[in-house]
Structure 1
């Protein structure tokens, strides 16, 4: 295992910092990624190669690119023609990534954003994004949720969330749960199966791994505003892999925080998931993050203060033979660290300490 960071539109200075903090790999999380696009909106192999070599020039590997699904999943249920057009574009992106020397792309199956309901104070007054199902309302969803690459608000600014700017491509085609028109359990699986059918054969041929981020957060069993999160449970994750169990190209962007949110015993379910998917080589990359709380009631947290025993997680990854990247993610917000670089540096140092001490 090795340290890495997930960066949105990094600069030379930011890559220098990652290298100086000891990162060995970088995940480019820019969605959409204009630096890779041709005039017709498709990824260009030469530009991917250039971006990869740029990262490598700092002594790090370019492990993964973010595949922006846009509204593919919801369109597959509502506007099949548009979904087919988007799927063709995504197949070209996957092929270009492989030809450009990047053998993994990641995506999220969120159709309605990463739902949050507020912000609470954490250690030292840091601001921690929270989800409490009993507090859900469309207004708090719009204000406090993650939309594509748009971070949630800190609870103090007065501007509207960018989700209201429907032309903003950074929201990734996502919408509020009460705007989606309802997504049943069966429809959720139908959309995911459509995506896999459309993309997996190309990924296998190109030698590219598809790293799927499960639904964040787990919704109530009966859904939320008629929307069901079918990959919001360990059972759902197992069913996802069962769609193509022998494929080397189908696996997870294994987000520890998201998996912890699926259970009232976060530590137990994280360890169970590692031991379920690790030996099958279905963990392609890891978001090494923590939460405080559990199913339907949690806040995000720094890695050392949450409900998951991070040292036990490292030990479990070693036991199952995972050798990939560990990235911090979803760190809290603070006015003393507005760019969150110090918080991310803390996470990296904490993770390095675990890697050096846990055998």
Structure 2
């Protein structure tokens, strides 16, 4: 195992910092992928290869890129012709990634973004994104949820996600009130469509598709009629069962998201590691923590939350996971507007756990 980062359009200076912090791998999280995209929306294999070589030049490795699936899931239910066109474009992106030497593409099954209900103050005044199902209101969803790569409002008068509504960076995600009812059957039908459309191409190209589960788990009956079917371990098991023999079908294993599925976050994360690790379904890891659990949590720095992170490191080692550990979802602060300090702290903490283990 080793530490790495997810970066959006990193400058040379930012890549130098990653190298100096001890990172080995980089996952490019730019959505849409402006570094490699052509005017017609296709990816250029030559540009992918150039991006990989650029990252190699800093002593780092391009472990993967984000595959922006846009609104394909919702479109598969509401506008099937548009979904089919998007699937064709995504298949080209997968082939281009393979030609350019990228072994992994991560994607999310979020249709309505990453739902949050507010911000609470953490240690030293940092601002921590929170989700309390009992506090859910559509107007809070609009202000405090993550949409694509757009961050939530910081609770101190900062930019609102609504300011970016409809922008490419929202990755086709909408508010739950805009999505209309999405039943459990609808949710599975959309995911099955995506997997069936993309996985054969990924298998042929030798690319791993790393799925980020639904964040957060929703209560029984959903929110605003929207169900999150990948919001439980049973949901993750059913997802794996869609292609049980495929080496390209697995997870962007977000510890925070899995912790959010349970009132016993450490036990649930360890159970998931010990189940999906031996199956080789953990393709990359979002090594992050939360304080709280199912339907009531706040995001936290990795050293202060409810999950025993050292136990998780030991579990990854036990199951033979040897891939990247990326920090994710650190709190916000006016002292660290670019979040470089907080991500650096998270990287150092993770490196220390690896050395101690």
CA contact under 8 A between 2:151 and 2:161: conserved in structure 1? no
| Corresponding position of 2:150 | 150
2:153–2:160 CA contact under 8 A, matched in 1: no
Does 2:315 align with 1:316? yes
Matches within 5 A, 1:67-78: 67-78=67-78
The aligned runs of 1:170-319 (5 Å cut-off) are 170-319=169-318
1:1-20 correspondence to structure 2 within 5 Å: 1-20=1-20
Unaligned runs of 5+ in 2: none
Alpha-carbon displacement from aligned partner over 1:37-86 (angstroms, at most 9, x marks no partner): 11211000000000011111000110001000000000000000000000
How many angstroms apart in 1 are the aligned matches of 2:328 and 2:159? 24
Judged with a 3 Å threshold, the aligned counterparts in structure 2 of structure 1 residues 334 and 197 are, in CA distance, closer, same or farther, namely same
Q: Distance in 2 between matches of 1:247 and 1:164?
A: 37
Aligned equivalents of 2:342 and 2:164: distance in 1? 29
Instruction: Give the match for residue 98 of structure 1.
Output: 98
| Distance of 2:337 and 2:293 partners within structure 1 | 27
Asked whether the 8 Å contact 2:164–2:170 carries over to 1, the reply is no
Question: How far does residue 125 in structure 1 lie from its aligned partner after superposition?
Answer: 1.0
Q: Report the 3-state secondary structure (helix = DSSP H, G, I; strand = E; otherwise coil) of the residue aligned with 1:34.
A: coil
Provide the rounded CA distance (Å) in 1 between the counterparts of 2:178 and 2:336.
Answer: 34
Is the CA contact 1:150–1:162 (under 8 Å) kept in the aligned structure 2? no
**Aligned partners of 1:65, 1:162: CA distance in 2, in Å?**
26
Q: Is the 8 A contact 2:15 2:55 kept in 1?
A: yes
Q: CA deviation at 1:163?
A: 6.2
Deviations 1:184-209 (A, max 9, x none): 00000000000000000000000000
Structure 2 contact 146–161 (Cα < 8 Å) conserved: no
Equivalent residues of 1:133, 1:297 under 8 A apart: yes
User: Using the alignment, how far apart are the partners of 1:186 and 1:85 within structure 2?
Assistant: 23
Q: Distance in 2 between matches of 1:343 and 1:228?
A: 32
Note closer, same or farther for the CA distance 1:302–1:191 as it changes in structure 2 (3 Å cut): same
Question: In 2, Cα distance between the equivalents of 1:108 and 1:208?
Answer: 16
Aligned-residue CA RMSD (Å): 0.8
Q: Distance in 2 between matches of 1:351 and 1:170?
A: 29
Kept after mapping to 1: 8 A contact 2:152/2:160: no
Q: Secondary structure at the match of 2:274?
A: helix
Say which SS state the counterpart of residue 35 (structure 2) adopts.
helix
SS at match of 1:130: strand
Q: Deviations over 1:199-257 (max 9, x none)?
A: 00000000000000000000001100000000000000000000001100000000000
Shift of 1:158: 5.6
Distance between the aligned counterparts of 2:39 and 2:339, measured in 1?
34
Q: Deviations over 1:308-351 (max 9, x none)?
A: 00000000000000000000000001111111101111001100
Please say if residues 162 and 171 of structure 1, whose CA atoms lie closer than 8 Å, have aligned partners that are also in contact.
no
CA contact (8 A) 1:142 1:163 kept: no
1:81-96 → structure 2 map (5 Å cutoff):
81-96=81-96
What is the rounded CA distance, in whole Å, between the counterparts of 2:108 and 2:161 in structure 1? Answer: 20
Name the CA shift for 1:24/1:158 in 2 (closer, same or farther; >3 Å).
closer
